[in-house]
Amino acid sequence: MAQQQITLLGCGKMGSAMLEGWLADRNLDANFTIIEPHQTHLGWLEDQTAVRLYADCVAAIADGAPVSTMIVLAVKPQMMDDAIAGLGMMKHADCAYLSIAAGISTGWLKQRLGDNAIVIRAMPNTPAAIGKGITALYADAPDHVRDLASQLLAAVGQVVHVQDESLMDGVTALSGSGPAYVFLLVEAMTEAGIEAGLPDDLAVELAKATVCGAGALMAAVDTTPAILRENVTSKGGTTAAALAVLMADDGLASLMTKAVAAAKARSIALGE
Ligand X SMILES: NC(=O)c1ccc[n+]([C@@H]2O[C@H](COP(=O)([O-])OP(=O)(O)OC[C@H]3O[C@@H](n4cnc5c(N)ncnc54)[C@H](OP(=O)(O)O)[C@@H]3O)[C@@H](O)[C@H]2O)c1
Give residues in contact with ligand X (CB under 6 A): 9-10, 12-15, 35-38, 74-77, 79, 82-83, 86, 100-102, 123-126, 176
Helix, strand, coil shares, percent, the chain, to 5: 55, 15, 30
CB 155 within 8 Å of CB 18: yes
Q: Report, in Å, the least distance between residue 92 CB and ligand X.
A: 17
- Nearer to ligand X by Cβ, of 83 and 203: the residue is 83
- Nearer to ligand X by Cβ, of 77 and 131: the residue is 77
Q: Report, in Å, the least distance between residue 245 CB and ligand X.
A: 30
| Residues 6+ positions from 168 with CB-CB distance below 8 Å | 105, 121, 123, 136, 138, 162, 267
What distance in Å separates the CA atoms of residue 151 and residue 167, rounded to the nearest whole number? Answer: 22
Instruction: Look up residue 10 and give its amino acid.
Output: G
CB 175 within 8 Å of CB 136: yes
Task: Name the residue with the smallest CB distance to ligand X.
Answer: 12
- Nearer to ligand X by Cβ, of 155 and 203: the residue is 155
Residue 158 pairs in a beta bridge with 134
- Nearer to ligand X by Cβ, of 6 and 100: the residue is 100
Q: Which of 155, 124, 151, 122 is nearest to 4 (CA)?
A: 151
Q: Report, in Å, the least distance between residue 175 CB and ligand X.
A: 9
Q: Report, in Å, the least distance between residue 217 CB and ligand X.
A: 25
According to DSSP H, which parts of the chain are helical? 13-24, 57-62, 80-85, 106-113, 143-154, 168-171, 178-195, 200-220, 225-231, 238-246, 252-270
Q: Report, in Å, the least distance between residue 154 CB and ligand X.
A: 16
| Residues 6+ positions from 194 with CB-CB distance below 8 Å | 200, 203
- Nearer to ligand X by Cβ, of 96 and 129: the residue is 129
Residue 73 pairs in a beta bridge with 9, 99
Q: Report, in Å, the least distance between residue 15 CB and ligand X.
A: 5
Q: Report, in Å, the least distance between residue 147 CB and ligand X.
A: 21
Q: Which of 108, 92, 89, 98 is nearest to 9 (CA)?
A: 98
- Nearer to ligand X by Cβ, of 87 and 141: the residue is 87
